[in-house]
Structure 1
């Protein structure tokens, strides 16, 4: 069960998650929460920070975030709140101030490559007269610099370099900036909650809140907790692990039942195809997918003038949850996948999707409960979803599913697809469609490269995950959503699927 890049940041995050889930399952979280620090912090001396006190402060904030509690609470207060089922009303993606303190803040720097040339193009190009010569080389006065970058562009030696924080660099929507105290600040009005910044921070200073303890409490309290397993699950637990072992292991955690979100993807496919046929091009020139919450949020926040182009069909996660709640109103629904943005979508639809966890958190639950996947019996598993439904996990899979459904419903209709991976590419694709530079009438947008299998909460390399998912889709009994008779029946039984 190898994580794609097992850095020290990932190890620490996993260790904290594993220890907290173990304590929660053994019902000793409130009593022993202070002992978590012994995993990371050594009284013999600091391992990662300047001093032990700093390491303890960082760990306390990491623990509170893992418990979905305010970073200001003590560990004991945070543990008590989590055990009581409370989830703090706070941003999903959070900067831990104690951990964010070692990134440079000067955006442009003059290097030793400066020759103090006679042309002084850098000085002449600066609109604020922020550059001067000091000790035979150019010097940038930070009090005047407005970080326009003209000096860098004008230097013929390339002696001026641009430095950006890793979190800033990966944020395609420019939602992260350096605050006055050198700490990173996330602008929630711009953030699409994709989780890229969390993965980019080399100090692990950005994290996502977790509801793993709250889910465990529901299980221990005897609630009927349903695991809604994302289509990507077949690709993230190693080539030797069978899908049946994963499903059985989830049941051993105490989940009441496991429902494939790929089955919900079949229902979404049927409805999205009908919506496309009914609205494109008569009512709108193109339609976009609605399955990736980060992509949908990007359009809502940064391209609000075309919000009407987003498919009104719910995502596969919401379709699956709606089906479960219709059959069992007492159910507690928990999405499990590689996506962090799904946590935000779950919050928007509280009461329909109660919680969302990542594969990383699921793995921590296995460890906390003492379950070894390799030793779990394979009781056999046959997917209830079609091949195209399971293919939703990979980039281009959604388009393929909708195309096949449209062709089956109306052979004369033509889907001209365009798919984009990564928020930056998604934004560019939207701009091209708006400007009429590409001939397409259906856009599949995925915030992660590779599609859902590339999510920040995943466990495997994207290429490995894709191969495993592709192998799994080929074993599906039904080829497409139109071939899945039970999905068609449930689609008609539940009825209205159009809302977000």
Structure 2
């Protein structure tokens, strides 16, 4: 993720909230965050310090897991009691932060030459273009935003303007409301977080659950971390996975589980599902571990739903192991993904909290833990190379396809993969229309796969390589050779809800 000023502000708020929660002062000192993050001396991003602090109040209420409409003191008190809005939408527009971007879609620029041909006027179906003071002018009341004028102009003098958040949303779930502020349509939204990353004003944010989690870590409860495969390299190339595991224990976690082990289980189950159903029951199968990709199919392409794998995600498979071994424990998924917070809503008995790597970093800083100073302790990694590579684009397909061939060498496997939700939609349409010669497809909503998620810290191009390097060091090369995964897959429910 690019480290913009809005990202820095978001992380600073999370860190201050975490620090005060750890110190037990959040209920009395929460308002001091307004002075800590934005002081009279600056930096200043908006018209005045009052506007800056109004935006910060929105950020704080989301950071403590409540609604932006609430007073920060009331929100904080409820969060400290564990009253967070787990069932509410994950992504929220901060009303004070939204810049109400202009929404005139097509605009004539100074490049207009007032040519004799007037191609723009001739192609406009609504006669919305006229000439004023030697240049074309678009009457926005008449314009239907078809784009014909833009395509017709020989000078490229007509440009198309779109809000960054709208442009980033592949399912058209975000648009301008009556007051020009962005509005998210929850019925369409797949909660991938692309709008959060795209907004240059930081006006879209995801709800955080770090406050009740820190409160649980301070009790005698057994709290277990489930770390997604993309965690490798998130704290820098020099920070080993062993150090991250040790840091989690210093935070107060009772133990750490590799979600890559759950990925091995998913690999085994999906391979079996493929062999049982393709091509006898269906022509092709898609993977289902990415929740935003799964919701793209579920909400927007229901005709493809029968082709989606019925296998649960690695997060849920790992949570099944945790709750089987420790039924009264608190299970916390730590990953790069906003959509995992929405997926967790379907499994309230298995997953208690979902936090991102961003939020984990804030908790570590808030607790005074410096990962670089941690002394490594021996850790036995249980997952195979297959589970470890789930974190980058192409990893799921590689793992499942290789396992299919290992289980049934005679099976015909023709795999395709893509990342980015818009690319996923296009490929699904082509695959379903029979235009692609494939019988299994991997879809990842984030560019680069999970390593490119909205809750990551490091550049996906770097961490993708580090994930592969780490995968070469584990004990097993394939999921089908991992006896732990083979045993667990027989003992837990691997079917998606």
| TM-score calculated relative to the size of structure 2 | 0.98
**2:36 is aligned with 1:39:** yes
Q: Secondary structure at the match of 1:235?
A: coil
Counterpart contact for 1:99–1:203, Cα < 8 Å: yes
Looking at structure 2, the residues matched to 403 and 434 of structure 1 have their Cα atoms a distance apart, in angstroms, of 20
Looking at structure 2, the residues matched to 221 and 82 of structure 1 have their Cα atoms a distance apart, in angstroms, of 16
**2:104 is aligned with 1:106:** yes
Partner of 2:332: 334
Q: Secondary structure at the match of 1:437?
A: coil
Q: Secondary structure at the match of 2:257?
A: strand
**2:267 is aligned with 1:255:** no
**2:75 is aligned with 1:78:** yes
**2:40 is aligned with 1:49:** no
Aligned counterpart in structure 2 of residue 29 of structure 1, from 4, 9, 26? 26
Partner of 1:404: 402
Partner of 1:202: 200
Counterpart contact for 2:100–2:182, Cα < 8 Å: no
Partner of 1:68: 65
**2:339 is aligned with 1:344:** no
Q: Deviations over 1:288-312 (max 9, x none)?
A: 1010000000001111111111111
Deviation, structure 1 residue 146: 1.7
Looking at structure 1, the residues matched to 398 and 152 of structure 2 have their Cα atoms a distance apart, in angstroms, of 47
**2:320 is aligned with 1:322:** yes
Looking at structure 2, the residues matched to 473 and 45 of structure 1 have their Cα atoms a distance apart, in angstroms, of 45
Looking at structure 2, the residues matched to 173 and 222 of structure 1 have their Cα atoms a distance apart, in angstroms, of 44
Counterpart contact for 2:242–2:378, Cα < 8 Å: yes
Q: Secondary structure at the match of 1:119?
A: coil
- For 1:108-147, list aligned pairs within 5 A: 108-147=106-145
Counterpart contact for 2:100–2:179, Cα < 8 Å: no
Q: Deviations over 1:17-66 (max 9, x none)?
A: 00000111111111111011012322357711111221111110111111
- For 1:154-193, list aligned pairs within 5 A: 154-193=152-191
Q: Deviations over 1:213-258 (max 9, x none)?
A: 1111111122211100001111212121111110000011011110
Q: Deviations over 1:458-500 (max 9, x none)?
A: 1111121012111110111011111111111122233x31123
Deviation, structure 1 residue 118: 2.2
What runs of 5+ residues in structure 1 fail to find an aligned partner?
none
Partner of 1:9: 6
Q: Deviations over 1:403-435 (max 9, x none)?
A: 222122211112110111110111111001111
Looking at structure 2, the residues matched to 400 and 63 of structure 1 have their Cα atoms a distance apart, in angstroms, of 41
Deviation, structure 1 residue 189: 1.8
Distance 1:212 1:274, change over 3 A: same
Looking at structure 1, the residues matched to 440 and 19 of structure 2 have their Cα atoms a distance apart, in angstroms, of 46
Counterpart contact for 2:94–2:204, Cα < 8 Å: yes
Looking at structure 2, the residues matched to 380 and 10 of structure 1 have their Cα atoms a distance apart, in angstroms, of 34
RMSD: 1.3
- For 1:269-280, list aligned pairs within 5 A: 269-280=267-278
Deviation, structure 1 residue 135: 1.6
Q: Secondary structure at the match of 1:252?
A: helix
Looking at structure 1, the residues matched to 36 and 180 of structure 2 have their Cα atoms a distance apart, in angstroms, of 29
Counterpart contact for 2:233–2:240, Cα < 8 Å: no
What runs of 5+ residues in structure 2 fail to find an aligned partner?
none
Looking at structure 2, the residues matched to 411 and 277 of structure 1 have their Cα atoms a distance apart, in angstroms, of 11
Q: Secondary structure at the match of 1:322?
A: helix
Deviation, structure 1 residue 102: 5.0
**2:217 is aligned with 1:219:** yes
Looking at structure 2, the residues matched to 357 and 84 of structure 1 have their Cα atoms a distance apart, in angstroms, of 18
Looking at structure 2, the residues matched to 491 and 114 of structure 1 have their Cα atoms a distance apart, in angstroms, of 65
Counterpart contact for 1:232–1:469, Cα < 8 Å: yes
Q: Deviations over 1:168-196 (max 9, x none)?
A: 11111111212221111112222111111
Deviation, structure 1 residue 124: 2.2
Distance 1:459 1:44, change over 3 A: closer
Looking at structure 2, the residues matched to 310 and 214 of structure 1 have their Cα atoms a distance apart, in angstroms, of 35
Distance 1:45 1:231, change over 3 A: closer
Aligned counterpart in structure 1 of residue 448 of structure 2, from 427, 430, 450? 450
Looking at structure 1, the residues matched to 235 and 50 of structure 2 have their Cα atoms a distance apart, in angstroms, of 37
Aligned counterpart in structure 2 of residue 480 of structure 1, from 455, 478, 482? 478
Aligned counterpart in structure 2 of residue 59 of structure 1, from 37, 56, 59? 56
Counterpart contact for 1:166–1:197, Cα < 8 Å: yes
- For 1:347-496, list aligned pairs within 5 A: 347-494=345-492, 496=493
Counterpart contact for 2:313–2:496, Cα < 8 Å: no
Looking at structure 1, the residues matched to 3 and 280 of structure 2 have their Cα atoms a distance apart, in angstroms, of 50
Q: Secondary structure at the match of 1:334?
A: strand
Deviation, structure 1 residue 280: 0.5
Count, aligned residues: 496
Looking at structure 1, the residues matched to 81 and 131 of structure 2 have their Cα atoms a distance apart, in angstroms, of 62
Q: Secondary structure at the match of 2:30?
A: helix
Counterpart contact for 1:194–1:294, Cα < 8 Å: yes
